[in-house]
Structure 1
């Protein structure tokens, strides 16, 4: 069974390949693909897909990388705070 990824309507000068790349990166991430594999795929897409698709995929992968970094930072802050509370 597959799920459809919904995106905003494409109008005007927007490149549908860009949004297809973003949707594929999102789907790959939701399927559990590790970040390092997503980055490798983004690099591969630069040489083997349209520029719009590659840019969309790479942009979403960068957003995912930042989200993961933010989550890791937050978890480290929480662990540090809990450690200090226990020590007091």
Structure 2
């Protein structure tokens, strides 16, 4: 059984396709899809889906890339600090 991620409530001129794309990227990432595959899917969406859906999907992929980079930077900083403390 799978659960569908619900998108946020939409008001005003916001496009529901944008949030559907974000939700799908979120689900794909949580299902364990690697980042390079998410990038490939985002590029495919530009060619084959509604532009707002593709924009939403890619927006979430960019957030995931930033989150991954921030975590990597933090882990590197912690490892470097621990090595300096051991050397002292």
Give the TM bin, normalised by the shorter chain.
over 0.9
Deviations 1:32-69 (A, max 9, x none): 00000000000000000000000000000000000000
Q: Runs in 1 of length 4+ with deviation above 3 angstroms?
A: none
Q: How many residues align?
A: 88
Paired residues for 1:1-88 under 5 Å: 1-88=1-88
Q: Aligned-pair RMSD on alpha carbons? A: 0.8
TM-score by length of 1: 0.96
Preserved CA contact (<8 Å) 2:17 2:53? yes
* Separation in 1, partners of 2:20, 2:28: 12
> Unpaired segments of 5 or more residues in structure 2?
none
> Unpaired segments of 5 or more residues in structure 1?
none
TM-score by length of 2: 0.96
